[in-house]
Amino acid sequence: MTAALIFAGLALLSTGLVIWQFVVAMRFPLHQRVASLTFAPGISILKPLKGADSETRACLETWLTQRYVGRIQVLFGVHSADDPVCAIVRDLISAHSKVDAELVICGDNLGPNAKVSTLIQLQQRAKHDVIAVSDADVFAPNDLLEQTVAPLSRSGVGLVNCFYRLPARGDIEMRCEAFIVNCDFWSQVLQARSIKPIGFALGAVMITSRARLKKIGGFESLVDYLADDYQLGHRIAKTGAEIVISPVVVECRSAPMTAREVWQHQLRWARTIRVCQPGPYFFSILNDSTLWALLLAAAFPFPRFQVIAAICLAVRWFTALMIDRKMTGRLDFLTMVALLNADLFRPVIWALSFLGNTVLWRGTKYHLLPGGKLVICQ
């Protein structure tokens, strides 16, 4: 009976955490816009690139068609002139000749994080004091810049970022990946923010100032780390500046991944979070209400415990559908299939994240040191 009560307690605790995530997600003004905007400083957009897929052209073009009254400079950085993305960028620059855009070959290898190495070289060509960093696969709404730059008009704001979503398409593996981002990830970020101010950044879009970057040692201080977005936000937050999450949402579009690639991505993500925030990550297993409810139902097949398990599962599934709908704007019952699969393999990923410190990223194997530093495996 003691064991049963412990499992029941864990199931109810995890359900309470799920309800907490649901409440903060429903309260957040996701997708809302500010009507009147007058703050429009010049912005240099840094886009580190590597390779291309069927979505690359559409994603990059959204940054050349922004509805923004201020001056925009777009710098596309690539390590090698032989990269296939170069032809796409040149074509886009030609098609949007009125935009101040440039393809920059960033051939210097300045550290283990190749993306940050490119950012260091791109910043040297930046003309404006506001710096935006965005991943290659980000498809941006045309009002993204005018909406996300606005909080920087407040003196205490050090960085603005925004949530992102994934299109729910392809096989079940991709749907699981999308569910984790479109439902759990952003609601858990808001849950953390409800406890204390955000001390990290989300890497899809990050906007800060040249002065803030200089204060933390520039991108050079991040080149040895895997989670450069986390480190950028963390270091700016440590200076006393505020990290703001904009209600605007971007979409990350890339080629579909295989089951193996999804698995490797989730394991890399888990190990990165673990080394950056070991305490919170360890206790994150308490969020897995499906796990605790199923364990309770399987281990203790008594009516009272079956009812508790059923209630916990119903709460999880209902809140997940509503959070996913708020992010994506649709009610897709295939989300239920993705939810169950994601909830079943997430505890496995959580356990495996403690059984090694190596990750595979962009075809290179790295060893993760405490704090998130990278060492290339020989």
> Mean pLDDT throughout 185-211?
96
DSSP, res 195: H
| Separation between Cα atoms, residue 209 and residue 159, nearest integer Å | 8
Q: Which of 133, 66, 59, 69 is nearest to 89 (CA)?
A: 59
CA distance 294 to 257: 29
**Angle value at C-alpha 321, between 282 and 177, nearest 5 degrees:** 55
pLDDT tens-digit profile of 111-157?
Answer: 999 999 999 999 999 999 999 999 999 999 999 999 999 999 999 99
pLDDT at residue number 378: 64
Closest CA to 63 of 168, 205, 229: 205
Highest mean pLDDT among 5-14, 155-164, 296-305: 155-164
pLDDT of residue 131: 98
pLDDT in tens, 324-372: 999 999 887 777 888 888 899 999 999 999 998 888 877 778 888 888 8
Set out the domains of the chain in order of their start, with CATH numbers: 2-27+276-370 (no CATH), 43-257 (3.90.550.10)
CA pseudo-torsion sign 251, 184, 113, 239: positive
Q: Return the pLDDT at 204.
A: 95
- Nearest Cα neighbor of 276 from 240, 226, 219, 220 is 226
Model pTM above 0.85: yes
Measuring CA to CA, which residue among 142, 193, 196, 187 is closest to residue 165?
187
In which element (H, E) is residue 160 found? strand 157-165
**Mean pLDDT over residues 32-40, rounded?**
86
